[in-house]
Structure 1
Amino acid sequence: MAMSTGGSSGGPMSEINVTPLVDVMLVLLIIFMITAPLASHRIDVKLPTANPKATDDKHIEPMDLAVTPDGAMYLDDREVDENQLKAALAVAASKSPQPELQIRADKTTEYRVVKKILSDAKGQGMVHVGFITTGKE
């Protein structure tokens, strides 16, 4: 609160010092004048267009890989070992369009087994990998 320096009253002043308020408002005005043109700058990006007819003509069956708790793997209901799985993944990765590898792992299967399958799939060039789950039990 400002106090009067002179005069006979000696009480508080009822006037507000607006100089700091004007200083702050001028600084904000300058900041907004500088940043406003920068906010309106646009960059044109040409996005690719999807071709839905290309995917509708040919339906690709996904590869179904079931993993049991003991680590046994069944690719499309046939039991496979690690080398057979890698060979099948390499063949599938070379196809165009590439089929999706859908993994159904038992919930008690150790994570390291699923991690090994994922790293093998990535190493063979598979890019479409998904997990199949069931609803609430």
Structure 2
Amino acid sequence: MAMSGGSDDGEPMMEINTTPLIDVMLVLLIMFIITIPIQTHAVKVDLPQPNSNNPQTIEPDKNKVTIDPTGQIAWNGAPINEVTLRQYLDATLQLPTEPELHFQPDPNARYEKVDEVLAIIKRANITRLGFVGNEQYRNDF
């Protein structure tokens, strides 16, 4: 900013110097911005805890996932929910060799439920997946 001196007649300068005021204002603004807490959008989810009382139901060579007409998922014949299915799939990946996963939905099962289960299997990064029981549809087409 340009500074103006007094007039030539030796009178004192009557204008206030605003440069230090602007500097202080900018420093206070920066300090205010830094001290604002960061807004985090967190969703609190109660995750299931692994239960060591359940017997190990994961076979080392092959496992079978079925869906009945009511939409109930079963792992090797035992009814489970989606969260337990994901836990079992994650446990199969921890084995030295990944076992085969046989997927057999009932012909009357809703496609929406079958699609949900396939999405869970895909998100678990299962690479050895086989569809079992497709011969029942051979005369439908």
Normalising by the residue count of structure 1, what TM-score does the alignment of the two structures yield? 0.52
Q: AA paired with 1:73? A: I
Structure 1 residues without counterparts, runs of 5 or longer: 1-59
Q: AA paired with 1:63? A: N
Q: Matched residue pairs, number?
A: 79
1:1-137 equivalence runs, <5 A: 60-133=60-133, 135=135
Tell me the CA shift for residue 61 of structure 1. 2.0
Any idea what SS the aligned residue of 1:71 has?
A: coil
Which residue number corresponds to residue 13 of structure 1? none
Any idea what SS the aligned residue of 2:99 has?
A: coil
Deviations 1:65-90 (A, max 9, x none): 11101110110111111111110011
Structure 2 residues without counterparts, runs of 5 or longer: 1-59
Root-mean-square deviation (Å): 2.0
Within 2, Cα distance between the matches of 1:78 and 1:117?
A: 16
Within 1, Cα distance between the matches of 2:134 and 2:124?
A: 28
**1:106/1:127 Cα in 2 relative to 1: closer, same or farther (>3 Å)?**
same
Deviations 1:37-73 (A, max 9, x none): xxxxxxxxxxxxxxxxxxxxxxx52111111011101
Any idea what SS the aligned residue of 2:93 has?
A: helix
Tell me the CA shift for residue 103 of structure 1. 0.9
Normalising by the residue count of structure 2, what TM-score does the alignment of the two structures yield? 0.50
**1:125/1:135 Cα in 2 relative to 1: closer, same or farther (>3 Å)?**
closer
Q: AA paired with 1:98? A: E
Structure (1 or 2) with the greater helix fraction: 1
Identity over aligned pairs, percent: 19
Any idea what SS the aligned residue of 2:107 has?
A: coil
Q: AA paired with 2:76? A: D
